[in-house]
Amino acid sequence: MRSDEIKRGAIRAPHRSLLRATGLKDEDFEKPFIGVANSFTEIIPGHFFLDKVSTIIKDEIKKCGCVPFEFNTIGVDDGIAMGHDGMLYSLPSREIIANSVETVMNAHKLDAMIAIPNCDKIVPGMIMGALRVNVPTVFISGGPMAKGYTKDGVPIDLNTAFEAVGKYESGEISADELKDIECNACPSGGSCSGMFTANSMNTLSEAMGIALPGNGTILALTFEREELYRQAARRICEIAKDEALSEKFRFKNILNKAAIKNAFVVDMAMGGSSNTVLHMLAIANEAGVDFKLEDINEIGKKVSHIAKISPSLSTVHMEDINRAGGLSAVIKEISKRDGGFLSLDALTITGESLGERVANAEIKDTQIIHTIDNPYSKVGGLAILYGNLASEGAVIKTAGIIGERTFSGKAICFDSQDEAIKGIIGGKVQEGNIVVIRYEGPKGGPGMQEMLSPTSLIMGMGLGGKVALLTDGRFSGATRGFSIGHCSPEAAEGGMIGLLQDGDIVDVDVDAYSINVRLDDAEIAKRKATFKPKIKPLTSVWLKQYRALVTNASNGAILKGE
């Protein structure tokens, strides 16, 4: 066992002495040591109950003859951090989480790991850390939140609350109606109930085979979810206690190129958050997999969008997907197209191949999960755009587009999210504009703020199908509308988005994967000659370090190595 390095031989007597102080007995030194990476924190709705989850998991690990050692990572709630400078810390927290997992697991030579994430950057951060450690690892998230209802019985979620602010500002709803939505949009613990970033990453974990079936869709705080926790604990012990299985199920043997491609296939089929692009590129880098931004469009062209979930379809939530057959039904259905674009022979942590895992799955409600003969779209729910405005790419969640898939309009430029919010509320944005929010990229923000507040205001004020938005920042998974993010190169590194001026005409054609500004080469060269990026001053030591090391979004906003 890997843990023998800290517990075998006379030379490790001091180490054993310290371990005995934690309660270990003689017999425990013969057992595998299992790291329980928990992301419990009391301020995040998807995490405040994870201390109870880890208690269930540790109890099961002990019953199975292994020794659990729980440790915690940090977490940032993107919804609470949204709309102020707290969001600067959200994406950087992914790196802290990855470093924390690597640090604890490798410093103490633990044999295997069970990871308990749920929301926002915590899932990809733990995955990145697990890839560095490369021991058998099972991912088991806390589970999705139930959808809420207004007093009139209308299904709502967090996205409803954000968009309600715009409706209130425009006089469409009253203060009482806003309060009703506020009090009922998030009715319980769990990751927010739509196909936002957390649930996107939790379903992709299932698609990659690093989590058990049901990980992405079984509701939090249910008996069904509790049984899934126990199954995950039993499985990691089964692997850890067998040397051959421990070697077979090393994390990188499961999370490889086939698994990453499978994740993007499922992402396209379900119209996941645009943040998945950012995180999956970072995960591919950690896995040593050659997967580039431009590869995503080739997948999108071949995968039908068959499951439309809030925010793309506001009445459908994760609990509905679970009732309709879950992720296994989605995977089974999309595997039928042209022989399937999935790697069905990919190994999963439960021992069977992905194809074997979904062999008996079926769609139980074709109004929720469509068939490939009746898709929402014959192409996937995400697209990468290229052109003189984004030579290294920009991302659009096509599943969230309202109306046409082309847009031409006059730019109205803002140099920060705060500036944009004031401008939108103040009536500066008019029908036909493309709202440009720049200096919010990985370096410029720094930390690549999410733009849910401005996009929600646009939707709430009735401009959703009438304007577009372009940013070098990113979007919440709850964003919908003609919203283009991750524009690379970003303004802070001299990207074309920084050269735009009010009134410039921007053309976007999603089906042609193009985004261009109508400027000739001479005008672009003229602007470049006098351009100086606006670099925001920072007082935070951590954010200064992050800005110095981070790459742009086309590389997954990973930190530079040597």
CATH of the domain at 41: 3.40.50.2300
Q: Both 231 and 343 in a single domain? A: yes
Confirm whether 340 is domain-assigned: yes
Q: Both 123 and 207 in a single domain? A: yes
Q: Both 204 and 308 in a single domain? A: yes
Confirm whether 9 is domain-assigned: no
In this prediction the pTM is: 0.95
Number of domains in the chain: 2
Percent above pLDDT 90 for the chain: 82
Of 82-86, 143-147, 309-313, 558-562, highest mean pLDDT: 143-147
Q: Both 198 and 314 in a single domain? A: yes
Q: Both 332 and 396 in a single domain? A: no
With residue 369 as reference, give the H or E element that holds it. Answer: none
Give the tens place of pLDDT for each residue, 386-405. 999 999 999 998 888 878 89
Q: Both 202 and 305 in a single domain? A: yes
Confidence at residue 340, expressed as pLDDT on a 0 to 100 scale: 61
Confidence at residue 337, expressed as pLDDT on a 0 to 100 scale: 79
Confidence at residue 457, expressed as pLDDT on a 0 to 100 scale: 83
Q: Both 397 and 262 in a single domain? A: no
Q: Both 351 and 425 in a single domain? A: no
Q: Both 416 and 351 in a single domain? A: no
Confirm whether 175 is domain-assigned: no
Q: How far is Cα 271 from Cα 382, in angstroms, rounded to an integer?
A: 6
Q: Which residues contact 335 (CB under 8 A, 6 or more apart)?
A: 342, 344, 355, 358
Domain end, chosen from 308, 323, 358, is at 358
Confirm whether 6 is domain-assigned: no
Confirm whether 10 is domain-assigned: no
pLDDT band at 479 (very low <50, low <70, confident <90, very high): low
- From residue 123, give the alpha-carbon distance in Å to each of 16, 64, 113: 33, 26, 14
pLDDT of 534 strictly over 70: yes
Domain end, chosen from 289, 324, 358, is at 358
Q: How far is Cα 206 from Cα 127, in angstroms, rounded to an integer?
A: 12
pLDDT band at 464 (very low <50, low <70, confident <90, very high): confident
Q: Left if phi > 0, otherwise alpha if psi is -120 to 50, otherwise beta: which for 271? A: left
Q: Which residues contact 120 (CB under 8 A, 6 or more apart)?
A: 44, 75, 76, 77, 78, 90, 197, 198
**Residue 139, beta-bridge partner list:** 115, 211
Q: Both 388 and 537 in a single domain? A: yes
Confirm whether 471 is domain-assigned: yes
Q: What is the pLDDT of the chain when averaged over all its residues? A: 94
pLDDT of 476 strictly over 80: no
Confirm whether 155 is domain-assigned: no
Domain end, chosen from 304, 323, 358, is at 358
Q: How far is Cα 205 from Cα 326, in angstroms, rounded to an integer?
A: 14
pLDDT band at 115 (very low <50, low <70, confident <90, very high): very high
Give the residue numbers annotated as catalytic, written as ranges: 476
Give the CATH number for residue 461: 3.50.30.80
pLDDT band at 510 (very low <50, low <70, confident <90, very high): very high
Q: Domain limits at 257?
A: 31-143+190-358
Confidence at residue 120, expressed as pLDDT on a 0 to 100 scale: 84
Task: State phi, psi for 33 to the nearest 5 degrees.
Answer: -100, 120
Confirm whether 443 is domain-assigned: yes
Q: How far is Cα 331 from Cα 266, in angstroms, rounded to an integer?
A: 7
Q: Both 245 and 388 in a single domain? A: no
Q: Both 476 and 541 in a single domain? A: yes
**Which one has a higher pLDDT value, 176 or 381?**
176
- At 135, is the secondary structure helix, strand, or coil? coil
Q: Are 439 and 416 in contact (CB under 8 A)?
A: yes
